[in-house]
Amino acid sequence: MKALVVGGGGFVGPYLVKHLKEEQGMEVYVTKTEKETLDMDCSGIYNLDILELSQVAELLNKIRPDYVFHLAAQSSVAYSWKNPGLTIDVNIKGCVNLLDGIRQLDYKPRVLLIGSGEEYGHIKDGECPIVEDNVLRPGNIYAATKSCQNMLGKIYSDAYDMDVMMVRAFNHIGPNQTPVFVVADFCKQVADIENGLAEPVIYVGNLSARRDFTDVRDVVRAYAMLVKDGKRGETYNVGRGHAVAIQEILERIVALSDKDIEVRVDESKLRPVDVPIIEPDITKIRETVGWEPEIELETTLKETLEYWRRETKINP
Ligand code: A2R
């Protein structure tokens, strides 16, 4: 079977490609942006700007994938406040281009659109853990674009009888994630301190928010299971199903180090609007495809810190 991973040059892409190739035995093709350099073991790597419909259509016709994984996005909440226009273009217009390109094929590949737990936004008392048909009240621009992507996926699936499924992925973490995201940020700061590159102070934003963290390797396994056995037009939460406070994440990462580290609030890390708790109900994916997260949070935190220790080490 042929898989096309659109937006494979980011954090999740390389993990997904490895899983599809090595664990699922698929022939895997990947797209990246022009500015990215990507070196991975797969059947083909192509430059693609999803804002260009003709490029999207040409590539789909050339590869004719059985499965399409849509990872391409402007995926940072913080950046979405700074550049809402670009976030809307890439996450909404880009998704429509992909869906339209797929609609024009003479066959129907299975498509997985990757959305976010952020779509649920301002969750009311009693709504956690959140089920997929909960009201969406996005609390930031990124979340609004991903909610829109989800709706478009459902509309294309129903209106054109396309084989489209959607996920709402909650925070996923692991080695190689950019330090724009909280766990990578904390691990990098601790590694910098250990390697003598920074004073023993860790700068943090809002520590009270509670988020649900899953290892990226568990997440890509869920995606592979969903394209095989998920149901068209449906949305699936992908997460651990147990939110923890960012404060606890910080404490656990700091405890992995033998340095004495002071915690200081950095105003620039505080977001304009924050959502106090986001925690998924994962019954639907568990019952439909049998997926469960397997990797312990502690393991992922340790491996992420190890990664940053290697990355920030200055060679003597
Ligand atoms: O921005 P870049 O050059 O790093 O490329 C990103 C790519 N991308 C695009 N691809 C094609 N055409 C575009 N116009 C375009 N704009 C951005 O999508 C990057 O390589 C990829 C997304 O990767 P990350 O930002 O690292 O996201 P991650 O963590 O891999 O998450 C995958 C999906 C995203 O849809 C998230 O919103 C969702 O999972 O949580």
Q: pLDDT digit string (tens) for 244-287?
A: 999 999 999 999 999 999 999 887 766 654 567 889 999 999 99
283 assigned to some structural domain: no
CATH code for position 229: 3.40.50.720
| 200 and 145 belong to one structural domain | no
| 120 and 107 belong to one structural domain | yes
280 assigned to some structural domain: no
CATH code for position 309: 3.90.25.10
| 181 and 86 belong to one structural domain | no
How many angstroms separate the alpha carbon of residue 299 from the centre of ligand 1?
25
| 199 and 115 belong to one structural domain | no
Share of the chain above pLDDT 90, in %: 86
Rounded to 5°, angle at Cα 13 from 35 and 94: 65
22 assigned to some structural domain: yes
pLDDT at 248: 97
* Residue owning the nearest CA to atom 31 of ligand 1: 12
Measured CA to CA, the distance from residue 237 to residue 281 in angstroms comes to: 7
How many angstroms separate the alpha carbon of residue 173 from the centre of ligand 1?
15
Ligand 1 nearest-atom number relative to CA 48: 11
| 22 and 134 belong to one structural domain | yes
| 151 and 299 belong to one structural domain | no
Q: Alpha-carbon dihedral of residues 60, 61, 67, 68, nearest 10 degrees?
A: 10
How many angstroms separate the alpha carbon of residue 91 from the centre of ligand 1?
9
With beta carbons less than 8 A apart as the criterion, state whether 215 and 293 touch.
yes
pLDDT at 265: 85
How many angstroms separate the alpha carbon of residue 46 from the centre of ligand 1?
14
With beta carbons less than 8 A apart as the criterion, state whether 55 and 48 touch.
yes
Ligand 1 nearest-atom number relative to CA 72: 18
One-letter identity of residue 115: G
* 41 exposure class (CB count in 10 Å sphere: 0-12, 13-18, 19+): exposed
Measured CA to CA, the distance from residue 268 to residue 276 in angstroms comes to: 19
- Best substitution site from 36, 40, 71 to test ligand 1's pocket, by max atoms within 8 Å of Cβ? 71
- Give 248's contacts (C-beta < 8 A, 6+ positions apart): none
* Strands 110-116, 67-70: pairing kind: parallel
Tell me the residue range of the domain where 50 lies.
2-172+213-238
207 assigned to some structural domain: yes
pLDDT at 316: 47
| 67 and 185 belong to one structural domain | no
Longest dimension (CA), the chain: 62
Helix H or strand E segment including 262: strand 262-265
Reference 160, options 111, 91, 227, 220; nearest CA is 111
Predicted confidence (pLDDT) at residue 126 exceeds the cutoff of 90: no
Ligand 1 nearest-atom number relative to CA 75: 37
| 168 and 42 belong to one structural domain | yes
| 18 and 166 belong to one structural domain | yes
User: Could you give phi then psi for residue 132, rounded to 5 degrees?
Assistant: -60, -30
| 161 and 265 belong to one structural domain | no
| 20 and 78 belong to one structural domain | yes
Number of domains the chain contains: 2
Can you tell me whether residue 282 is helix, strand or coil?
coil
* Residue owning the nearest CA to atom 19 of ligand 1: 10
pLDDT at 72: 98
Confidence of residue 124 (pLDDT cuts 50, 70, 90): confident
Ligand 1 nearest-atom number relative to CA 9: 20
Enumerate residues lining ligand 1, CB below 6 A.
7, 9-13, 33, 35-36, 48-51, 71-75, 90, 94, 114, 116, 169
Confidence of residue 313 (pLDDT cuts 50, 70, 90): confident
Q: Which two tokens stand for residue 5?
A: 């991973």
How many angstroms separate the alpha carbon of residue 143 from the centre of ligand 1?
14
284 assigned to some structural domain: no
Residue-wise pLDDT tens digits, 10-45: 999 999 999 999 999 999 999 999 999 998 999 999
| 301 and 168 belong to one structural domain | no
How many angstroms separate the alpha carbon of residue 196 from the centre of ligand 1?
32
* Residue owning the nearest CA to atom 9 of ligand 1: 72
